[in-house]
């Protein structure tokens, strides 16, 4: 299964959100994971959305991974969703946004989230 992780954290490589998503890649190594750092690269994505379009089209599962600062998603992720909507990809029949994965400052995720991912990837 092709799993696309859209990481909305603006912190980049050392974000806890990304580290949590990388754990999923290790846990489910039989699947192919692709990570797009949309939170960190939002300015370049505003100029060229083609890499995102291709990745979304080829994905079997899309995971939105983002930090929750005061119970809202970062503005970079909001902008990404606006770009996604403007691209027309959200209107395609074969695109199913199946999982919304919020994160917190700690690396603890509810066990139920891992069960949902495990059932989807199994």
pLDDT in tens, 3-24: 888 888 888 788 888 888 898 8
Helix (H, G, I), strand (E, B) or coil at 103: strand
CATH number of the domain within which 94 lies: 3.40.50.360
CA gap 14, 96 in Å, rounded: 29
Residue whose token pair is 């949590």: 20
Selected residue with higher pLDDT from 53 and 115: 53
Domain of 53 in residue numbering reads as: 2-121
103 and 67 in contact (C-beta within 8 Å)? yes
* Number of domains the chain is built from: 1
Residue 108: is its pLDDT beyond 50? Answer: no
Instruction: State the pLDDT confidence band at 44, using cuts at 50, 70 and 90.
Output: very high
pTM of the predicted structure, to 2 decimals: 0.74
């Amino acid at each position: 299964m092709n799993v696309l992780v859209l990481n909305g954290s603006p912190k980049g490589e050392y974000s806890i959100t990304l580290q949590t998503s990388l754990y999923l890649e290790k846990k489910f190594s039989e699947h192919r994971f692709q990570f797009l750092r949309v939170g960190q690269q939002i300015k370049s994505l505003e100029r060229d959305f083609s890499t995102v379009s291709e990745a979304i089209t080829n994905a079997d599962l899309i995971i939105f991974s983002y930090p929750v600062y005061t119970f809202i998603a970062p503005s970079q992720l909001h902008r990404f969703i606006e770009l996604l909507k403007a691209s027309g990809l959200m209107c395609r029949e074969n695109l199913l946004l199946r999982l919304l994965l919020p994160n917190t400052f700690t690396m603890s995720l509810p066990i139920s989230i891992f069960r949902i991912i495990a059932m989807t990837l199994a």
